């Protein structure tokens, strides 16, 4: 066992870990942070996404011992005082049903919006291509993000302008 310290959701936390403990398990079972979900456990589904030094990563493929002196942010961290604008948009657009994929998608998109405040639909799709959702069919997720980032129009493949408002109807 080794004691490691790292910043978790803007608080300095210390925890004893073995080298073979993955970050997802330590967050959930030792530190009580339950928003990262355990899905495929092999990096395919994105349910365990957390931000490591601001980058969306798979916490099921990160060893806990290596985050010493680094920063981890989960959904608990981005909504400590109140829900983020992105979370509010997800509620407004009914963007999740069972909710299992939601923390991962919210963090992946949070990272995207830091780099691209006004992403294209393609950039949005690319950013969550590794986050599986089996309920929504993704459309309400795209709608929420596009409405939030005020994407005025997205040229569809046949060249017509597709307004987000029209998509919702």
Partner 1 sequence: MAIAHEFGYERPQSLHAAMTMKNSFRAKAFVYAGGTDLVVNIKEGMVKPELLVDIKDIPDLHKLCLDNGTLYIGASVTFTELIDTDFVRLACPMLHDACKTVASSGVRSRATLIGNVCSAVPSLDSATPLLCYDAVVHCGSIDGVRNIPISQWFLAPRKTAIRDNEIVTGISLIIPKEESTSVYLKLGRYGGEDLAQAGWGIWMNKDRQYRVAHCALAPTPARATKIEAMLCGKELTDKLIEEAVALVPQEISPISDIRSGKEYRMYVSGVMLKRGLKAALDRLNGKEVEPAKLLGGIS
Query: If DSSP codes are grouped into helix, strand and coil, which group holds residue 49?
Result: strand
Give me the least distance between CB of 81 and partner 1, in Å please. Answer: 26
Interaction of residue 63 with partner 1, rule CB under 8 A: yes
Give me the least distance between CB of 4 and partner 1, in Å please. Answer: 11
Q: Give the helix, strand, coil percentages of the chain, each rounded to 5.
A: 35, 20, 45
How close are the terminal C-alpha atoms of the chain, in Å?
56
Q: By the 8 A CB rule, do 48 and 101 touch? A: no
**What region, left, alpha or beta, does residue 29 occupy, with left being phi > 0 and alpha being psi -120 to 50 degrees?**
alpha
Q: Which stretch binds partner 1 (CB under 8 A): 6-14, 40-48, 76-84, 86-94?
A: 40-48
x/- site string to partner 1, residues 133 to 162, per CB under 8 A? ------------------------------
Interaction of residue 114 with partner 1, rule CB under 8 A: no
Interaction of residue 85 with partner 1, rule CB under 8 A: no
């Amino acid at each position: 066992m080794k004691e490691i310290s790292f910043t978790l959701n803007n608080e300095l936390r210390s925890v004893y870990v073995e080298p073979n403990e993955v970050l997802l398990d330590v967050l959930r079972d030792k530190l009580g942070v339950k928003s990262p979900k355990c899905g495929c456990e092999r990096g395919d589904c994105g349910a365990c996404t957390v931000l490591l030094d601001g980058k969306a990563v798979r916490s099921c493929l990160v060893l806990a011992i290596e985050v010493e002196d680094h920063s981890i942010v989960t959904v608990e961290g981005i909504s400590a005082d109140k829900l983020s604008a992105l979370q509010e948009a997800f509620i407004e657009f009914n963007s999740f049903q069972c909710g299992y994929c939601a923390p991962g998608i919210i963090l992946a998109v949070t990272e995207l919006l830091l780099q691209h405040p006004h992403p294209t639909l393609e950039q949005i799709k690319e950013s969550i291509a590794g986050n599986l959702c089996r309920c929504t069919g993704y459309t309400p997720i795209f709608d929420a993000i596009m409405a939030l980032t005020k994407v005025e129009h997205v040229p569809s493949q046949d060249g017509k302008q597709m307004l987000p408002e029209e998509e919702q109807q």
